[in-house]
Amino acid sequence: MSSWNDLAVRGAFPALSLSDKGLARLYADAPGGTQVCERAIVRTRQAMVDHCANEGGPFCTSVATDQWLLRVHEAAGEFFNADADEVVFGLNTTTLVFHFSRMIARNWRAGDNILVTRMDHDANVGPWILAAEERGVTVRFLDFDPETFLYRYDQLDQLIDARTRLVACNHASNFTGTINDVRRIVAAGKAVGAVTVVDVVQSAPHMALDARAIGSDILASSPYKYFGPHAGLMYLRRDFADSLVPPLKVRPAPMTMPHRHAPGTPSFEAQLGTYGAFEHLAWLGEQFGGASPAASLRARMSAGLAAATVHETALSVRFLNGVRAMPHVTLYGIADPAAVAGRVPTFSFSVRGQAPEAVAQRFAEHNQFIWYGNFYAMEAALRVGRPEGVARLGLAHYNTLAEVDALLEVLGGLR
């Protein structure tokens, strides 16, 4: 096993070597979408050149598509610690949640209630509110403490009761960066027979996911947040998927998975591209995580993500220590460098006297890419008292300590 090597890791991402007007790009926009690894690009091309054909035909390109789809779904199963028939691809997380909300809400009755959160991206809030309005169902919110950025787990008992039909929450926040105790929230929902949906969009780039351990009916992710193409990828527990009767499918489509819950022709290129992202994580595991090339794909991906976490922890500590010395900056998330294990490297902040857009613009002048706004986590922005939004800088394993220093230099200069 070699020790972490920034050069080798960055070499696996073609976009990282690009510059504009002589200025190197500094990508600190990962929570909005990461850069795409070379392996994902190679696999995407394969799907579009080597075997560009629809499924189910007798000719070689279609046969290859069928074989690859099986392989991709097996790999996606390993990504979630699930089986190949427990995953579905879609356009993105939002579309997938809307799609499943229609089936899940069918049995809701007036007088029922659902629980969503004030920290989640609206992809796992808005679709449920709309469904609740249609069915005359009450919407309850799990709050978080705007000082600690942790959920009010103590309120779960009051919020969840025998009429709770759905519990929807997020694993890691795209706003505060908090990693939430989703096992606890899911267990509370499961105790009353509620359907549970966990948004793992922001945890997926940083840690191995374990659907069996989390125990949720659904985990929703987006491969473009973890070094792959624009797509959505969802885990659906088998018995839960089977309970969605009738599925929203057209009549000639097979009842087998994934077709039953993935209507229409999918983006084969996005599916293979996602496979390439898994290969990248596995490569990280072999290179820097001590995984044997003979180990399972899941073991290699998990080792890769664990190695990435060690590197990202160093980045987070450096950033948080830097910000500590900047009284003009207010962070909206866990700020203690000793507590970084409780967060992902996504940092929302405001700069005294400056609009979030102006802050992002100042970074852009240095070719440093950061976001501003509420990132569709609109409840979270309101809860921390920033309805106008914040600036957000998000790191991934391809970022370096030197880049963190460069970001801190610009931030320090904004006083």
Ligand X SMILES: Cc1ncc(COP(=O)(O)O)c(C=O)c1O
Q: What percent helix, strand, coil does the chain show, rounded to 5?
A: 45, 15, 35
CA distance 326 to 181: 30
Of 65, 92, 271, 309, which lies in the binding site for ligand X, with binding defined by CB under 6 A?
92
Sign of dihedral through CA atoms 190, 185, 131, 267? Answer: negative
Choose the stretch contacting ligand X; rule: CB under 6 A; options: 86-94, 293-301, 323-331, 387-395.
86-94
DSSP secondary structure letters along 33-90: -PPPPHHHHHHHHHHHHTT---SS-SSHHHHHHHHHHHHHHHHHHHHHTS-GGGEEEE
| Distance of closest approach, residue 37 Cβ to ligand X, in angstroms | 18
User: Which of 34, 44, 81, 93 is the binder for ligand X (CB under 6 A)?
Assistant: 93
Is the C-alpha dihedral spanning 67, 71, 74, 80 positive or negative?
Answer: negative
Residues 11-30 that bind ligand X (CB under 6 A): none
Contacting residue, 117, 164, 222, 309, with ligand X by CB under 6 A: 222
- Site size with ligand X, rule: CB under 6 A: 13
216 sits near ligand X (criterion: CB under 6 A): no
For residue 162 the two structure tokens come to 């025998």
> Least Å distance between CB 217 and ligand X?
17
Window 169 to 208, contacts with ligand X (CB under 6 A): 170, 174, 199, 201-202
Enter the DSSP assignment of 200.
-
| Cα distance between residue 28 and residue 315, in whole Å | 12
117 is an interface residue for ligand X by CB under 6 A: no
What is the x/- site pattern for ligand X, positions 248-287, by CB under 6 A?
----------------------------------------
Q: Which stretch binds ligand X (CB under 6 A): 45-53, 87-95, 188-196, 325-333?
A: 87-95
Interface residues toward ligand X, by CB under 6 A: 31, 92-94, 121, 123, 170, 174, 199, 201-202, 222, 232
